[in-house]
């Protein structure tokens, strides 16, 4: 212990690095906690030093004038208010730096320097309490000062480190990550300076692909500042299985070195040394061994800063690599291939634990969780020759990028071992007219009636149970849920429409040269609950449009209780009745609806108001009926034209008869494709209402702080809390933090058990220069203004706009009636957005990588829905 003085909370103002570890982040910050832990690992050398703890920071903050008022002002700013942030953060930094360090604290710091000598050189480094944690690295957000010499300079730079908590970049980082400025505190590390011959960074996993079996080393001459600041291109070495498998030696023209009296400078490296490697291969392998030891201690891949002095490595920092996507847990050491469920369900956002566990409990397939997303293990399907081809064909129809990613893995020797014939599941049926179901619309009617009866029974019976009995009831309800979903007739009806679509596209392209012929043949198909949902909101707009006061009222809606106030304006009672009727039918839906924790439209009806106002503005009365009838007419005309052209071919009557049968089949069943999801989400809303009522009882009993705490528990954990009336508040806090970190991650389509994320690619040479490749899912070409919209509630459309977004589940359908075309980053031929785009006759291209980043809001674009690409025109 360097100082016996303690603050009022009992915390020492100074601690030796050897006294701290990962459990003391709140006292010494993330960087110091990791350095202390590193110093305890056998064989790892860490420069000696001490930490000025957060107790000292709190004293300084309390003495800094007007700090509370300024923090209040800062918390009211948004991350986009850059100029205001710049001005206010500069004021705060200046005030902190000008606040004198109390005499006893200054004496403690200067006294701690005696062990190394007053004129020894030090690195003075910030160590924030939210820094270098598993969920947020905060890399580069605060300041580090190298080669600081003398007590006065040390004290001055300690103040600068405190002040660096309020750099513009650090403030914006906290605002964007929802971190309260008052909850983050700053400790300062004062460490003996290392005058390195070479320095750099070691990643114990590939930071680009995520592969945990690969380590990469960046190295340059002199101090590591040259590499971190981007002054030089480093040497880069790749290591796998104890062998350097790739290495690039850069021309390192500059280096950063220490000045004798303090500070650093840039120097030129002599010409004969510039292209010499900064490390030998033996040193690279030794460094990676040290890295693996550090990784094993912390239990996750690490980003490590190292220095080399006289052939001896010293570690000056280690932090988790927070950008890596987690790997699903496996109970063996075999290779596994995981496919993203979110890319199939059109919801790639992170889900909370209750949402994840509910989907796992109600899904037919076994699903694994990682990074707040769900995955299925496809290893056995790919390993078996009897199932591989059919599985790849099915995946390709759904998501060509996922198929390409799988083929990339299959092309690698030995990653997926081939099972003997008969060792895997039977071949999957994925195309053609193989289903035995007849073209009988009564089948759809029967299935819908069964669904409604089952849901009505669920709603009636669940109202009679509470407490632990509710959870027992739900486990039985989940069995009924899966029975309805897995009913053979239900699966046949779904596949009948999909297979008929594929058959029509394949055969009519072969016989007539028609691309995506089914797109027009499925326009305004009957019984599609999702497309009906979009058209029904046009009918609500018809009710509202004649009442200017209602329109004006809705333009100012800011809260979800607006329906209670609506009847006070002229026409408000009629408008409220129309909106309520819509919510009664569709209010269980919402964006990201597979996550039960997401707010439903019934819970947050203001979400629909922007779309409703767009419908009032963009359409004339009766638009829903006209639009549906026009689609029907176009589909009939297309069918007549196709059949006439077929009859003129050799064997034309037979081809026409087969095609007519498939047109009847697709018209009978393609609309039902959307109903099972409607059934699932209807049940989910009933489950949610019962679970929230239980959570409210726990809040009233003082067990929970707020009802939404249960969102961060699994179903099983929630059950246990109800049984015991005890909850782990720390678990809920940690899960909240994890969820925030998972939101920042991009889930891969394909992930291996090595942690490698494989994106896949379009291997096409038929595109215009600069065009963005995608999957054609709805025919036609349209040109218009791109509206890049990531939140449906922020929609503001004009006639002719093209919607560009990450993904669209059924809840986006109300937007579709007001757009001219669709571009998404995720999707396939039979996903919801594609089905509805065809129903509405919208040219659409899906699975366009990074579309929301590469296309700017307001640009003119051209969507080629038949050929599968997007051109950026301006």
Phi, psi values for residue 451, rounded to 5°: -60, -45
What are the angstrom distances between the C-alpha of 523 and each of 188, 234, 493, 535? Answer: 65, 57, 19, 13
Residue 179: strand, helix, or coil: coil
Rounded to the nearest 5°, which phi and psi values hold at 705? Answer: -75, -40
H-assigned helices in 432-566: 441-462, 468-486, 488-512, 518-521, 529-544, 548-555, 562-565
User: How many CB atoms are located within 10 Å of the residue 280 CB?
Assistant: 10
Do residues 622 and 541 touch, judged by C-beta distance below 8 A?
no
- Does the CA dihedral 856-858-862-867 come out positive or negative? positive
Query: Taking each helix axis from N to C terminus, what angle separates 468-486 and 675-700, rounded to the nearest 10 degrees?
Result: 170
Q: Answer whether 575's CB lies under 8 Å from 562's CB.
A: no
The number of beta carbons lying within 10 Å of the beta carbon of residue 700 is 9
The backbone torsions φ and ψ at residue 346, rounded to the nearest 5 degrees and listed phi first, read: 60, 40
Task: Compute the half-sphere exposure of residue 292: CA atoms within 13 Å on the CB side of its CA.
Answer: 14
Residues 480 and 458 sit within 8 Å (Cβ to Cβ): yes
CA atoms within 13 A on the CB side of 273: 14
> Which of 157, 343, 719, 832 is flagged as catalytic?
832
Name every residue whose Cβ is closer than 8 Å to that of residue 785 and which is 6 or more positions away in sequence.
798, 800, 801, 802, 858, 859, 860, 861
Is 303 in contact with 217 (CB distance < 8 Å)? no
Q: What angle do CA 316, 321, 324 make, to 5 degrees?
A: 165
Place of tokens 């080393």: 217
Q: Is 765 helix (H, G, I), strand (E, B) or coil?
A: coil
Contacts of 644 (CB under 8 A, 6+ apart): none
- Of the candidates 336, 288, 334, 332, the one whose C-alpha atom is nearest the C-alpha of residue 313 is 288
CA distances from 827 to 341, 399, 785, 805, 870 (A): 12, 6, 21, 11, 15
Tell me how far apart the alpha carbons of residues 238 and 371 are, in angstroms, rounded to a whole number. 26
Tell me if residue 832 is catalytic: yes
SS3 state of residue 153: helix
Helices 675-700 and 715-724, packing angle to 10 deg: 30
Q: Is the dihedral of CA 147, 151, 153, 159 positive or negative?
A: positive
What is the β-pairing status of strands 144-149 and 254-258? unpaired
- The structure tokens listed for 639 are 């069918």
Between CA 195 and CA 191 the distance in angstroms is 12
Instruction: Give the C-alpha separation, 535 to 384, whole Å.
Output: 45
Q: How many CB atoms lie within 10 A of CB 76?
A: 9
Residue 774 class from Cβ within 10 Å (0-12 exposed, 13-18 middle, 19+ buried)? buried
Catalytic residues: 832
């Amino acid at each position: 212990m360097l100082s016996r003085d303690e603050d009022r909370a009992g915390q020492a103002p100074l601690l030796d690095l050897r006294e701290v570890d990962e459990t003391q982040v709140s006292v010494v910050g993330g960087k110091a906690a990791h350095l202390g832990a590193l110093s305890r690992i056998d064989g790892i050398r860490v420069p000696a030093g001490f930490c000025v703890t957060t107790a000292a920071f709190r004293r300084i903050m309390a003495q800094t004038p007007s700090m509370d008022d300024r923090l209040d002002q800062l918390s009211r700013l948004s991350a986009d208010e850059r100029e205001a942030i710049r001005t206010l953060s500069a004021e705060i930094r200046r005030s902190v730096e000008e606040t004198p360090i109390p005499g006893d604290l200054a004496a403690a710091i200067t006294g701690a320097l005696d062990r190394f000598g007053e004129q020894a050189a030090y690195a003075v480094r910030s160590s924030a309490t939210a820094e270098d944690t598993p969920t947020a690295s905060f890399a580069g957000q605060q300041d580090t000062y190298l080669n600081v010499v003398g007590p006065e300079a040390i004290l001055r730079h300690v103040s600068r480190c405190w002040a660096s908590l309020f750099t513009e970049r650090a403030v914006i980082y906290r605002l964007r990550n929802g971190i309260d400025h008052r909850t983050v505190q700053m400790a300062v590390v004062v460490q003996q300076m290392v005058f390195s011959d070479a320095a750099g960074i070691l990643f114990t996993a590939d930071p680009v692909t995520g592969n945990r079996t690969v380590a990469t080393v960046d190295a340059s001459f002199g101090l590591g500042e040259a590499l971190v600041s981007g002054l030089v291109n480093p040497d880069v070495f790749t290591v796998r299985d104890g062998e350097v498998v790739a290495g690039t030696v850069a021309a390192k023209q500059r280096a950063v070195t220490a000045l004798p009296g303090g500070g650093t400078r840039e120097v030129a490296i002599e010409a004969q040394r510039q292209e010499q490697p900064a490390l030998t291969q033996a040193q690279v392998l030794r460094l990676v061994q040290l890295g693996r030891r550090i990784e094993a201690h912390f239990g996750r891949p690490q980003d490590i800063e190292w220095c080399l002095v006289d052939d001896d490595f010293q570690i000056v920092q280690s932090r988790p690599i927070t950008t890596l996507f987690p790997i699903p847990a496996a109970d063996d050491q075999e290779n596994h291939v995981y496919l993203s469920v979110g890319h199939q369900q059109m919801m790639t956002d992170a889900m909370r634990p209750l949402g994840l566990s509910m989907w796992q409990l109600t899904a037919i397939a076994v699903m694994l969780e990682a990074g707040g997303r769900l995955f299925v293990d496809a290893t056995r399907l790919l390993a078996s020759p009897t199932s591989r081809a059919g599985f790849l064909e099915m995946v390709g129809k759904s998501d060509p990028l996922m198929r390409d990613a799988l083929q990339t893995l299959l092309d690698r020797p030995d990653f997926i071992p081939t099972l003997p014939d008969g060792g895997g599941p039977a071949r999957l049926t994925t195309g053609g007219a193989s289903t035995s179901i007849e073209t009988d619309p009564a089948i759809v009617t029967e299935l819908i009636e069964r669904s409604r009866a089952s849901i009505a029974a669920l709603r009636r019976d669940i109202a009679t149970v509470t407490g632990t009995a509710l959870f027992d009831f739900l486990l039985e309800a989940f069995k009924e849920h899966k029975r309805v979903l897995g009913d053979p007739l239900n699966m046949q009806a779904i596949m009948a429409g999909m297979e008929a679509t594929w058959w029509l596209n394949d055969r009519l392209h072969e016989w007539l040269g028609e691309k995506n012929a089914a797109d027009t043949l499925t326009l305004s198909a009957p019984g599609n609950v999702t497309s009906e949902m979009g058209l029904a909101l046009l009918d609500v707009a018809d009710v509202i449009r004649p009442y200017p006061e209602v329109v004006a009222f809705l333009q100012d809606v800011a809260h979800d209780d607006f329906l209670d106030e609506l009847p006070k304006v002229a026409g408000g009672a009629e408008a409220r009745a129309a909106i309520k009727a819509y919510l009664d039918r569709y209010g269980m839906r919402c964006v990201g609806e597979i996550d039960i924790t997401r707010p439903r439209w019934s819970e947050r009806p203001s979400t629909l108001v922007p779309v409703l106002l767009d419908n009032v503005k963009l359409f004339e009365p009766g638009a829903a009926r006209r639009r549906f009838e026009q689609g029907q007419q176009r589909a009939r005309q297309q069918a007549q034209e196709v059949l006439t052209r077929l009859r003129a071919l050799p064997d034309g009557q037979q081809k026409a008869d087969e095609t007519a049968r498939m047109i009847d089949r697709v018209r009978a069943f393609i609309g039902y494709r959307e109903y099972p999801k409607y059934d699932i989400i209807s049940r989910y809303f009933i489950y949610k209402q019962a679970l929230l009522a239980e959570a409210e009882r726990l809040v009233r009993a003082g067990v929970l702080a707020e009802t939404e705490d249960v969102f961060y528990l699994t179903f099983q954990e929630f059950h246990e809390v109800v049984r015991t009336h005890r909850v782990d508040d720390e678990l809920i806090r940690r899960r909240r933090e994890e969820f925030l970190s998972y939101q920042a991650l991009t889930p891969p389509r394909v992930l291996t058990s090595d942690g490698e994320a494989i994106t896949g690619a379009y291997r096409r040479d038929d595109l215009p220069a600069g065009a963005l490749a995608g999957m054609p899912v709805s025919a036609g070409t349209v040109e218009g203004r791109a509206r890049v919209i990531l939140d449906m509630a922020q929609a503001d459309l004009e006639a002719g706009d093209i919607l560009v977004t990450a993904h669209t589940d059924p809840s986006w359908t109300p937007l579709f009636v007001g757009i001219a075309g669709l571009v998404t980053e995720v999707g396939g031929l039979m996903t919801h957005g594609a089905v509805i785009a065809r129903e509405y006759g919208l040219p659409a291209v899906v699975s366009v990588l990074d579309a929301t980043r590469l296309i700017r809001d307001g640009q003119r674009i051209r969507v080629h829905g038949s050929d599968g690409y997007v051109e950026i025109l301006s």
